[in-house]
Amino acid sequence: MTTPSAPVSKTALWAGYIMTVLPALLMAFSAIMKLIKHVSVVKGFADFGIPESHIIPLGIVELACTVIYLIPRTSVLGAILLTGYLGGATATTARLGQAFIPTVIIGILIWGGLFLRDRRLRALIPLRS
């Protein structure tokens, strides 16, 4: 079992950083597209039946959760918040019969990256005894 004092290998640390940055960039890009109310976002919200007035608040929430995730001290809270956010996105796309696998993959990357780079999380969820 991994203990909190056990160091994280350089390979796991770098893999964790890469797995952290990729979904964070996607989430930040998505949030910015909402904040500028890009035409494709407005059309997508209309297709989902979500009022246009919800675009900016959802963009703010998405960006805030992403920033919280990127701060090392609050990364676990950020991962929890992003999981909730992505759960809503997954439910919305699944309800309309659209592909929801990308949001699930982003969630896996969020937690996988955090698991690889944070020894506290590894101690909490040991994959081997």
Token couple for 106? 């982003």
- Answer for the pair 109, 116: CB distance below 8 angstroms, yes or no: no
Mutual orientation of helices 10-35 and 75-95 as an angle, nearest 10°? 60
- Tell me the pLDDT tens digit for each residue of 64-79: 999 999 999 999 999 9
The pLDDT mean for the chain works out to 91
Name residue 67's amino acid.
Answer: V
| CA-wise closest residue to 82 among 30, 14, 16 | 30
pLDDT more than 70, % of the chain: 94
The number of CA neighbours under 13 Å toward the Cβ of 118 is 22
Q: Kindly report the pTM of this predicted structure.
A: 0.87
Write down the domain spans for the chain. 10-123
